[in-house]
Amino acid sequence: MYFHHKRICLFTIILLAVLLPAKLFSKEKKELRQELPEIISKLQFYKGHEDLSVDSVHNLPENLFKEFTSYTISEKEVFWLKIVIDNQQAATDEYFIHFNSHLDDIYLYQKNDNGVWIEERSGVLIPEKLKTVKGFIKDKIPFTISNGSSTILYLKIENQIEKYLDTKKIWIVDSKSFNRIFIQTKQIQSIFLGIVVILCFFNLLLFLSTGTRIYLYYMLYAIFSSIYFIYAFQYFETGYFANHPHVSLYLFFSATFIPVVYCWFLYELLKTDVNDFVRSIVKKYAITVSAFALLILIIALFDYTTGVLVDDIYSIVNSIIVVLLVVLLFRKVSNTVKIVLSGSVFLVAGVFSTIVLNFQNETPGHGYFFQSGFFIELIFFTVAINFTYQNERLEKLKFELKNASLENEKLAKEREAQKLREQINLKERDLATKVFAISQKEMLIKNVTSHLEKQVQNNSVKVKDIKEVISNLSSKMNDNHWEEFETHFIQVHPDFYRLLNKKYPGLTRTERKLCAFIKLNLTTKEIAGITKRNPESIHMTRCRLRRKMGLNKSENLDNVINNIK
């Protein structure tokens, strides 16, 4: 039930974000439509091309001018408009005629107070320095209210791009309102672009330092979106590329790539949030959007108006799909992706409002919806990027802690192994000491026995007592000393005999005992002393042992036995 209410709230927010702007501006549109006939008392049209001098414009045949409401424009066509302004309806002396379209070259002719005809110029495909007025409202021509009851204006329009013109696309704005909006817009755009530049710079640093592509896509998304607004408000035209006649059109193409970069940004963001099937769908959609963007650019290069129309339809469809993604993925993704999807709702609302309002009556103010939606989305994206960066740092810290823990475990095991080696070495020394003690004890018994036997032969002592001592000492020589030795040896090297028998079966007891002595690092001389055998005999035993073990000349017997663990 909770998620059901949550989904209803989400749809309500989307509807309000889309419908409220249109509702708020509906009053403005009505006033705009009513304002046009109030200040313009007559609007006439003449299809013809006359290259007249400024002073002879008034010689145009008046009988050929007809009432204008709408007109389908042919490619590379030149036509004239005659506008009669009702001076009684004018609130100020200076106005602009603004065409909400992409007309290539516009000339305005008007008689000033001295009776001299003057010429003003505008248009999207002429250098900015040749235009009469610079500013964010495109295709505008300035004029002044002349003396008398009316002001007569003649406009010669050359067209290459636009296909349709009607009265809704002709907008009259007074200079005070324009200047006020122009200054405010420049200030807002400067702050906006400054923030975008800072964000792009930091994301570029993050991409270069981490190699994570999500930062690159975020930067490209901000750049392409900003270029669109730079296009809309003529930042580059007035400042950097004033002499380039096609800069407006080229900058507009950047808007086509905004959905492309967004889709790849979302694809990278979903790497660890959804299963491979969902990610594959998002990837295929990103590839499809990329292909459509290239197709739109190709269409626009040959037919700009059709390209803009297709781009608007493409933007609407993409916005609907983004909303569907928000609804389908919102409950299945992390908080980071939820923040991105929430920001996308605001952008969709701004784009949808701008397109819907422009279809009804295109005005520059509608672009503010798009920009507001984008700026809100950019704030959400910034928060999401911060989450991503913090998560990466957290994962990096976890990885470092894990490595440190493994390193500590390794050091602990090495210390334990060192301790065990020291204990083994100590026990081996004890064992060697025991072996030596046993050897000395048997040597002592042997010497005493030999001495007593000599005394018996010399008849210097009682034979009965001496024989009793000899018997006792001889019995001690074959006692369980070697069994005690092997018991201690097995305690130090519990698996030695088992591994030795497994690897080299068929060894005799003497040969296994020799292997044990070698394991204790005893020399041949020491082994001979312990076993009461001469060194040559020990050497022969070692040779037989090598043959049984199948060792070649390059293999060292001591190393082979010491490697048995």
Instruction: Give CA–CA dist 383/153, Å, rounded.
Output: 53
Query: What is the Cβ-side half-sphere exposure of residue 72, based on CA atoms within 13 angstroms?
Result: 0
| Cβ burial, residue 254 (10 Å; 0-12/13-18/19+) | middle
- pLDDT attached to residue 85: 92
Query: Mind spelling out the 3-state secondary structure of 129-159?
Result: HHCCCCCCCCCEEEEECCCCCEEEEEEEEEC
Q: Provide the 10 A C-beta neighbour count for residue 68.
A: 19
Nearest to 272 by CA among 328, 227, 336: 336
Helix axes 481-492, 509-519, angle to 10 degrees: 50
Tell me the domain boundaries of the chain.
39-177, 253-402, 430-562
Instruction: Give CA–CA dist 308/406, Å, rounded.
Output: 60
Instruction: Give CA–CA dist 286/295, Å, rounded.
Output: 14
In degrees, rounded to 5, the angle at the alpha carbon of residue 528 between the alpha carbons of residues 477 and 538 is: 120
Q: Kindly indicate whether the domain formed by 39-177 is annotated with CATH number 2.60.120.620.
A: no
Nearest to 466 by CA among 474, 458, 456, 479: 456
- pLDDT attached to residue 481: 57
Query: Mind spelling out the 3-state secondary structure of 447-470?
Result: HHHHHHHHHHHCCCCCHHHHHHHH
- pLDDT attached to residue 108: 92
Handedness of CA 33, 34, 36, 41 (dihedral sign): positive
* Residue 521, both tokens: 């690092």
- pLDDT attached to residue 109: 93
How many Å is the maximal CA-CA distance in the chain? 172
Which residues sit opposite 70 in a β-bridge? 166
Query: Mind spelling out the 3-state secondary structure of 105-122?
Result: EEEEEEECCCCCEEEEEE
- pLDDT attached to residue 28: 42
For β-strands 66-67 and 117-122, DSSP reports them as unpaired
- pLDDT attached to residue 26: 44
Nearest to 178 by CA among 87, 91, 103, 240: 91
- From first to last of its 565 residues, the chain has per-residue pLDDT tens of 444 445 445 445 544 544 444 444 444 444 434 345 478 888 999 887 777 888 788 788 888 888 888 888 887 788 999 999 999 888 888 998 888 777 888 999 998 888 888 999 888 777 777 788 766 666 788 899 988 889 999 999 888 777 788 887 788 888 888 888 778 777 777 887 888 888 888 888 888 887 878 888 888 888 887 777 776 666 665 666 655 666 666 666 777 888 888 888 888 878 777 778 888 888 898 899 999 989 988 887 787 778 877 887 887 788 788 778 778 877 777 777 778 777 877 877 877 777 777 666 555 566 677 777 777 887 888 777 777 767 766 777 777 788 778 888 888 888 787 777 767 766 666 666 666 666 666 666 776 777 667 766 766 656 666 666 666 666 555 445 566 667 767 777 788 888 888 888 888 888 888 888 888 788 888 777 777 788 888 888 888 888 888 888 888 888 888 888 7
CA quadruple 34, 39, 41, 45: dihedral, nearest 10: -90
- The string of DSSP codes covering 258-303 is HHHHHHHHHHHHTTTTS-HHHHHHHHHHHHHHHHHHHHHHHHHHH-
Which residues sit opposite 140 in a β-bridge? 98
Instruction: Give CA–CA dist 291/124, Å, rounded.
Output: 28
The pTM of the full predicted model, rounded to 2 decimals, is: 0.55
| Cβ burial, residue 213 (10 Å; 0-12/13-18/19+) | middle
Q: Are the beta carbons of 268 and 215 closer than 8 angstroms?
A: no
Q: Are the beta carbons of 152 and 111 closer than 8 angstroms?
A: yes
- pLDDT attached to residue 102: 75
Which residues sit opposite 122 in a β-bridge? 106
Helix axes 276-302, 304-329, angle to 10 degrees: 170
- pLDDT attached to residue 31: 41
- pLDDT attached to residue 172: 85
- pLDDT attached to residue 8: 47
Q: Are the beta carbons of 41 and 84 closer than 8 angstroms?
A: yes
- pLDDT attached to residue 525: 81
CA quadruple 419, 423, 428, 434: dihedral, nearest 10: 160
- pLDDT attached to residue 431: 65
Nearest to 109 by CA among 78, 144, 69, 63: 144
User: What does the radius of gyration of the chain's CA atoms come to, in whole angstroms?
Assistant: 49
What's at 241, amino acid-wise? F
Instruction: Give CA–CA dist 282/280, Å, rounded.
Output: 5
- pLDDT attached to residue 154: 93
